Amino acid sequence: MNKQSALPAFLSIVSCAAVVFGVIQMRRLTTSVGALEDRLAKLEAPATAPAGGATPSDGPRTLEDVATELKALKAEVAAVKSAAESMEAAAASQPSKSVPAASEAQVKAAVEKALAEREDAKKKDRKEREKDLLKGGDLSGFAANQAVDMLAKELGLTDQQKAQVAEILKTQIATILAAWTDRKEGEDTKAKMEQLKLDTDTKIKGVLTPEQAVKYDDMQRNGGKGWGGGKWGGGGSEGK
């Protein structure tokens, strides 16, 4: 059962319970009133002598008995009256027929709002944790150094080229990571990532010799062996 159907069901159960409780109370009051009427009838009925000279037993026969019975009746009448007044007060405190529907709508709206706020908080927390993770230990610098070491080995980069490529990669990787963490929920970032990679490739080839640039392109075509294959190169399913 989902929350939309569970809420009306719960309110219906509460309403039914209230009705049942009221019915039980009414039956108790009816029974009490009936008993009082019987006892009053006995007080009002004339005493009749039973056959064989037995002692009368249909009701009180002395003034003292009548006074005692009347005192008990007054106490019970007061109790019944108090119970009736309590039921009237409870009935008066109940909302009108038009209010339960409004109350149900308000409760449902409050539940929906609370769930939405909780989901937003979870998303915000995830974003913050991603940012903290990417900031920790200068991830962009670490990734750039790893890529430069690989490119230097494959392309035979000079020390000057290594420094230039390292700076390019550090800046571009930081840009890519920022685009990734700042993405909106459900946003397709694949095209943005691919464009960032193309821009990076262009800048890197700008510091390479023609021969190195050709080899660099071959590396990219052969499974992204350069710096930006997979996730950050826009070729993986996680670029979204």
- 89 lies in the same domain as 141: no
Q: Is residue 168 exposed (0-12), middle (13-18) or buried (19+ Cβ within 10 Å)? A: buried
Q: Does residue 237 belong to any structural domain of this protein? A: no
Which residues in the chain land under pLDDT 50? 60, 98-99, 136-137, 229-240
- 81 lies in the same domain as 146: no
- 157 lies in the same domain as 81: no
In angstroms, the CA 24 to CA 12 distance is 18
Give the global pTM. 0.39
Tokens of 113: 């709002």
Contacts 24+ apart (CB under 8 A), 217-222: 219/154
Rg of the Cα trace of the chain?
44
Q: Does residue 106 belong to any structural domain of this protein? A: no
- 8 lies in the same domain as 87: yes
Q: Does residue 118 belong to any structural domain of this protein? A: no
pLDDT recorded at residue 76: 76
pLDDT recorded at residue 75: 77
> Cβ contacts of residue 117 below 8 Å, gap of 6+?
none
| Host domain of residue 7 | 3-45+57-93
Please report, for residues 1, 22, 92, 111, 229, the alpha-carbon distance to residue 11 in angstroms, rounded to integers and kept in the order given. Answer: 15, 17, 19, 14, 57
Cβ(148)–Cβ(162) below 8 Å: yes
- 162 lies in the same domain as 88: no
Q: Name the DSSP letter for residue 53.
A: G
pLDDT recorded at residue 208: 93
The count of domains in the chain is 2
Beta strands, E only, the chain: none
Q: Does residue 175 belong to any structural domain of this protein? A: yes
Q: Give residue for tokens 């990669």.
A: 169
pLDDT recorded at residue 160: 94
In angstroms, the CA 172 to CA 189 distance is 15
C-beta atoms surrounding 115 within 10 Å? 11
Q: Give residue for tokens 């490739």.
A: 201
Q: Does residue 104 belong to any structural domain of this protein? A: no
pLDDT recorded at residue 232: 40
> Cβ contacts of residue 212 below 8 Å, gap of 6+?
155, 156, 157
In angstroms, the CA 6 to CA 9 distance is 5
- 71 lies in the same domain as 143: no
pLDDT recorded at residue 207: 92
In angstroms, the CA 176 to CA 159 distance is 25
Q: Does residue 155 belong to any structural domain of this protein? A: yes
Final residue before a domain boundary, out of 93, 121, 156: 93
